A and B are shown apart, each in its own frame.
Chain A
Amino acid sequence: MSSSSGQSSGYDLSFKILLIGDSAVGKSSLLVSFISNSAEDIAPTIGVDFKIKMLTVGGKRLKLTIWDTAGQERFRTLTSSYYRGAQGIILVYDVTRRDTFTNLSLVWSKEVELYSTNQNCVKMLVGNKVDRDSERVVSKEEGLALAEELGCLFFECSAKTRENVERCFEELALKIMEVPSLLEEGSTAVKRNILKQQQQPQASEFGGCCS
């Protein structure tokens, strides 16, 4: 599969978004579902991966670089590097596995506090796999309460049925644009990239790709 890539002059803002959470909660599926319409099983992520998506929200054309991380503990050192400079962080849990919800406050919110270099970054709590309602063990109310406690936005969605998937990312982007310092960073990144492009006119455009 190929992901879309933007022209250097084709977008107004550029933001970095990070997906974190326990292994097998559906981070990669969520990302693939947002980028394309695929709903198939994704092999476990090894280390980090990324995809790029162009998006128009609030009258602005955005380029989102979305980093997908492996949730296994052994990969934590490697993935911790990618928190740097992220304007948006999505913490994902599986509504059918309570331990993935518990680990958000035990593990992942602490990782964010430890490795994020952006104090104003926008955080979002996402409960995935709501299509398996018969196996649900974490209620929406519990999710809302934790989101409020951690200072996060909150959504429930299903990567399989694509319920709320686009809305998650769009809402996150809108919230990022409301923060002046993040807006400035997004704008600065675009200008810096334009400058690079001008200095290397022969350089091929980069884009997301899977190995």
Chain B
Amino acid sequence: MEAHASSFVSKARTAFHSAAAKAERVLMDFKIDLDSDKQFHDEFGRQRGDESARSEKFLDELKHIKWRPPHIGTKQDWQDRINNMRKGRKEVEVTDKVGDVSMASAPFYDENMYILNVKNDLDAKASEAIPSVEGLTAATKYPIPPSSVLKQLAIAIESGRQTNSMKDFVASSRGSSPAREKAGLSLSSVKALVLREKEDKLTSEFSSDEKVVYLINSLFDQEGEFLKRNSDPEETFISSLPRDIHGAPLESLVVKLAEVIGNFKTLREMSLFWSRVVDELRKHWSEEKHLPGIPPDDIPDLKSCLLYQQFQVINCCISRKKRHIIATESLDTMVMEANSNALESANYTGKIPTGPLLYARLRTGELVLRLGADCPSGDLTLLETGEPAYSPVTQEGPLLTEDLIKETEEFVLRTGSVGAGCSQLLSDMQAFKAANPGCILEDFVRWYSPPDWSESEGSTEDRDSSYGGESMSTRGQLSLRMQKEGNLWRELWETSKPVPAVKQAPLYDEDLAVEDILDAFEDIQPSELFGQLFVSLLSFGFAIAETMLYGDLDLSKLFNDCKEYIVTTCQSDRFNEKIDELVQMYETVEKMLLNPDEALKMKHMEESTMTTDESKRRFSTGEPKHRFKRLSHIFGGKDKLLTRPVCKNEVNDEETQIRHSFSSFFDSKSSLFSKKPPKPGNLYPAEQPLSLESDRTVI
């Protein structure tokens, strides 16, 4: 085709060039004609005759090309034309040339138009695939995120069940088929290598896309203005729904992430964007920058989704690292200052140095620097030395997300280990010794476990008693259980050394914890990620709607029915089977906010279909299953009637767009939506150990 185009282009160029040259000559001839002189009339007359003949010829040619000369010509010219008409050969020749020009230009033009159309098409596809910050910001004018976003996440959940890795989404977009993958090891290996190269290139292109960069920057902007909806500070009503269904707090990073990812048109782009997000999380961690929209120093909230908990851990670990650095520097400074003071003190014997340094005097009179002392422990004093007892700075406990809690519990059940408690107790003992030189176990117990110390009624205030044993026995004693033979507390006490918390081996390693989380993000199962994003966005929309419908008695009743259905469904183990219905509930609420009259009409239809008895039964708390079954029937049936065609069309449109996009970009067919999702029975094979469905199968 290119050769053909080249030929046509060449011919066209020749034709136009020839025409231009001829036109130029015609103009020159006309000029000469006007300048003719009468004295040389006879001589020029003969020459003029010749030139006139040629002019006539040119005029004919130019006329065909639609170029109009300034002078039509004289009578003689017309006669010459008539003479030329008798010569059929020349006329035919001119016609052929004109035909060539027409034929040459047509394909040339089509080819240009074709290229232009293709380019426009590609640009349009690229623009549509990646949502823009402006587009998403404009969508925040609606009270809750559009249901199309939630629907896209639902599609992702369905597709994600068939795979264990987000990378499969990127690879599967190549249109690879299972049959080809089974062809052979070598072929499979080569194919994998090729796909990986393409993946890397595509990922790189996607990440550097201007829109993606802008999306990432807006999402992680510390100001937190991106995708903000509730700007009414007076609103004090807080919905419990996000925590009831294990979603995420309003306006949190998880909710915004769900809204952004749900706006992508293809699973591949959703996956690529998630990879980009994980890269950004790594960057924040290495630069010790808190994630926006996540509390900076809270322990994981087990009533929120795991993703939110993990984000909390990242932020909390950043805060802890900063505190640890400050505490370490503070301690080092204190020790250096103490050493410096010691030198000076040697020169001035007996002089006690002043300053913020804390010292404790032993019974021998020796002064020892307190390390890691936090604040005085009430009016508690050390038994043997009489010095005030200080609470030490202690290590902070582990940050356990729900998955780690489960792991830990199973570990303890399996091994009977009490290591975690002992490690913490030992750490606290060492910190206490460092902050309270001259202390004994009884001092620690009085601070740590007051009920295990009982004051003797015969205690005296005499601190200068030279009989330590007698003094101790008269002032109090440990509890019987603490005095028992082989008590682990005493063994740990004997083992512990005076080491301040910041210098101890960490009970909880922040670096290790966050690395584990980021690795888990990279290997997360698609259905697990999209499932959490789905629930977070669902709870977000419902929570806002609840606030807005709070005062509307008519709509809030219908809303509460939807809400109860959602809470029950999300808390049950059949969540995966009910995603379509959850989307329908969301659409109903969306309708309540955007078109209240239609929603009320629906409500009226609902009420008119119920008899008095059914109404009573429906509101009875004794039959919750019947109630929700009824609710499911109502919304399932009606929503199907009212919205099924629209949903179907939208899904078809999406499929069409995706197929067209694939054919345009890669000239291959997409298998993403050509297959129906596997039936529920196939979703949970018996091999999956923790699957609830498998448990039923075993029965």
B-contacting residues of A (Cβ < 8 Å)? Answer: 22-24, 41-50, 65, 70, 72, 74-75, 77-78, 81-82, 84-85, 97, 115, 117, 188, 191-192, 194-196, 198-199, 206, 208-211
* Contact B484–A47 (Cβ < 8 Å): no
Docked-complex contact A115 and B302, CB < 8 angstroms: yes
A191 engages B695 (CB within 8 Å): yes
For residue A58, give the distance in angstroms from its CB to the closest CB of chain B: 21
Q: Are A78 and B405 in contact (CB under 8 A)?
A: no
B638 contacts A by Cβ under 8 Å? no
Q: Which residues of B contact A24 (CB under 8 A)?
A: 449, 451-452, 479, 481
CA distance A191 to B398 in the complex (A): 31
- B247: shortest Cβ distance to chain A, in Å? 14
Interface residues of chain B: helix, strand, loop or mixed (majority) = helix
| A–B complex contacts, Cβ < 8 Å, 29 sampled | A22-B451, A24-B449, A24-B451, A43-B481, A43-B482, A43-B488, A43-B489, A45-B421, A46-B421, A47-B418, A65-B413, A70-B421, A77-B398, A78-B398, A78-B424, A81-B400, A81-B409, A84-B406, A84-B409, A117-B303, A191-B696, A191-B699, A192-B692, A192-B695, A195-B694, A195-B695, A196-B689, A211-B417, A211-B418
Q: Which residues of A contact B414 (CB under 8 A)?
A: 206
Q: In the complex, are the beta carbons of B449 and A46 less than 8 A apart?
A: no
Question: Which residues of B, 398-422, contact A by the 8 Å Cβ criterion?
Answer: 398, 400, 402, 405-406, 408-409, 412-414, 416-418, 420-422
Task: Note all chain A residues with C-beta closer than 8 A to B420.
Answer: 47-48, 78
Complex-state Cα separation, A196 to B690, whole angstroms: 8
Chain B residues near A (Cβ < 8 Å): 299, 302-303, 394, 396-398, 400, 402, 405-406, 408-409, 412-414, 416-418, 420-422, 424-425, 428, 448-452, 479-482, 484, 487-489, 573, 689-690, 692, 694-696, 698-699
- CB atoms of B412 and A50 under 8 A apart: yes
Given contacts A46-B422, A48-B418, A82-B405, 20 further A-B contacts (CB under 8 A): A23-B449, A23-B452, A24-B479, A43-B481, A43-B487, A44-B452, A44-B489, A48-B420, A50-B412, A50-B413, A74-B424, A74-B428, A78-B397, A81-B400, A84-B406, A191-B696, A194-B695, A195-B698, A196-B689, A211-B416
The 7 closest A-B pairs by CB, nearest first: A47-B421, A77-B397, A24-B451, A191-B695, A46-B421, A209-B416, A41-B481
Contacts of B695 in A (CB 8 A): 188, 191-192, 194-195
Minimum Cβ distance to chain B for residue A39 (Å): 12
Asked whether A210 and B690 contact (CB < 8 A) given A82-B409, A84-B406, A195-B698, the answer is: no
Contacts of A50 in B (CB 8 A): 412-413
**Bound Cα distance from A85 to B420, whole angstroms:** 20
Which residues does chain B contribute within 8 Å of A208, judged by CB atoms? 416
Q: A23-B449, A195-B694, A195-B695 are in contact. Are A75 and B409 (CB under 8 A)?
A: no
Once the chains are docked, how many angstroms separate the CA of A191 from the CA of B697? 10
Q: Determine whether the beta carbon of B692 is less than 8 Å from that of A74.
A: no
Q: How far is the CA of A45 from the CA of B448 in the complex (A)?
A: 13
Tell me which residues across on chain B come within 8 A of A206, comparing CB atoms.
413-414
Are A44 and B302 in contact, with the CB atoms below 8 A? no
B430 to chain A, nearest CB (A): 13
- Kindly report which residue of chain A lies nearest to residue B423, judged by CB atoms: A47
Min CB gap B440→A, angstroms = 17
A188 to B696, CA, bound (A): 9
Least CB distance from B382 to A in Å reads 19
A80 to B452, CA, bound (A): 22
B570 to chain A, nearest CB (A): 13
CB distance from B180 to the nearest CB of A (A): 33
Of A22, A44, A194, most B-chain CB atoms within 10 Å: A44
Query: Contacts A23-B451, A210-B416 hold; do A47 and B424 have CB atoms under 8 A apart?
Result: yes
Q: Which residue from chain A places its CB closest to the CB of B417 in the assembled complex?
A: A211
| Cα separation A41 to B479 with both chains bound (whole Å) | 10
Residues of A within 8 A of B413 (CB): 50, 65, 206
B421 touches A78 (CB 8 A): yes
B506 to nearest A CB, angstroms? 15
Q: Give Cα distance in the complex from A191 to B402, angstroms.
A: 21
Residue in chain A with minimal CB distance to B690: A192
Q: State the CA gap A77–B420 with chains docked (Å).
A: 11
With A and B bound together, what is the CA distance between A11 and B422 in angstroms?
Answer: 33
A74: which B residues are within 8 A, CB to CB? 394, 424, 428, 448
Chain A contacts for B696, CB-based, 8 A: 191
Inside 8 A of A192's CB, which chain B residues have their CB? 690, 692, 695
Cα A210 to Cα B486 with chains together (Å): 14
B417 cross-chain contacts in A, Cβ below 8 A: 211
Bound complex: CA A188 to CA B408 (Å): 20
From the candidates B394, B405, B488, B689, name the one contacting A46 in the complex (CB within 8 A). Answer: B488
In the complex, what's the smallest C-beta–C-beta distance from A202 to chain B, in angstroms? 14
Q: How far apart are the CA atoms of A85 and B421 in the complex, in Å?
A: 21
Taking CB atoms, residues of chain B closer than 8 Å to A194 are 695, 698
Do B692 and A188 touch across chains, with their CB atoms under 8 A apart?
Answer: yes
CB distance from B450 to the nearest CB of A (A): 8
Per the bound structure, the CA–CA distance linking A210 and B417 in Å amounts to: 8
- Given A47-B421, A74-B424, A192-B690, the answer on whether A42 and B405 have CB atoms closer than 8 Å is no
Instruction: Name the A residues within 8 Å of B451 (CB-CB).
Output: 22-24, 97
Q: How far is the CA of A42 from the CA of B413 in the complex (A)?
A: 21
Q: Is A195 a contact partner of B418 (Cβ separation < 8 A)?
A: no
- Name the distance in Å between B490's Cβ and chain A's nearest Cβ: 9
Instruction: Please name all residues of chain A whose beta carbon is closer than 8 Å to the beta carbon of B484 when the two chains form the complex.
Output: 41, 43
B481 and A44 form a contact (CB under 8 A) = yes
State how many angstroms separate the Cβ of B485 from the closest Cβ of chain A.
10
Complex Cα distance A77/B507, Å? 13
- Taking the closest CB of chain A, its distance from the CB of B298, in whole angstroms, is 12
Chain A residues with CB below 8 A from B481, complex form: 24, 41-44
CB-CB < 8 A to A199: which residues of B?
A: 689
Report B-chain residues with C-beta under 8 Å of the C-beta of A211: 416-418
Return A24 CB to nearest CB of chain B, in Å: 4
Residues on B with C-beta less than 8 A from A23 are 449-452
> How many whole Å from B541's CB to the nearest CB in chain A?
23
In the complex, what residue of chain B is closest to A22 when comparing beta carbons?
B451
Q: Closest chain B residue to A83 by CB distance? A: B302
What is the CA–CA distance of A72 and B424 in the complex, to the nearest angstrom? Answer: 12
A210 to B451, CA, bound (A): 23
A45 to B299, CA, bound (A): 24
Q: Complex Cα distance A48/B417, Å?
A: 9
Q: Kindly state the separation between the CA atoms of A175 and B397 in the bound complex, as whole angstroms.
A: 34
| B698 cross-chain contacts in A, Cβ below 8 A | 191, 194-195, 198
Residues of A with C-beta under 8 A to B405: 81-82, 84
- How many angstroms from the CA of A198 to the CA of B406 in the assembled complex? 21
A70 contact set on B, CB distance < 8 A: 421
Q: How far is the CA of A22 from the CA of B451 in the complex (A)?
A: 9
Bound form: Cα–Cα A206–B696 in Å: 24
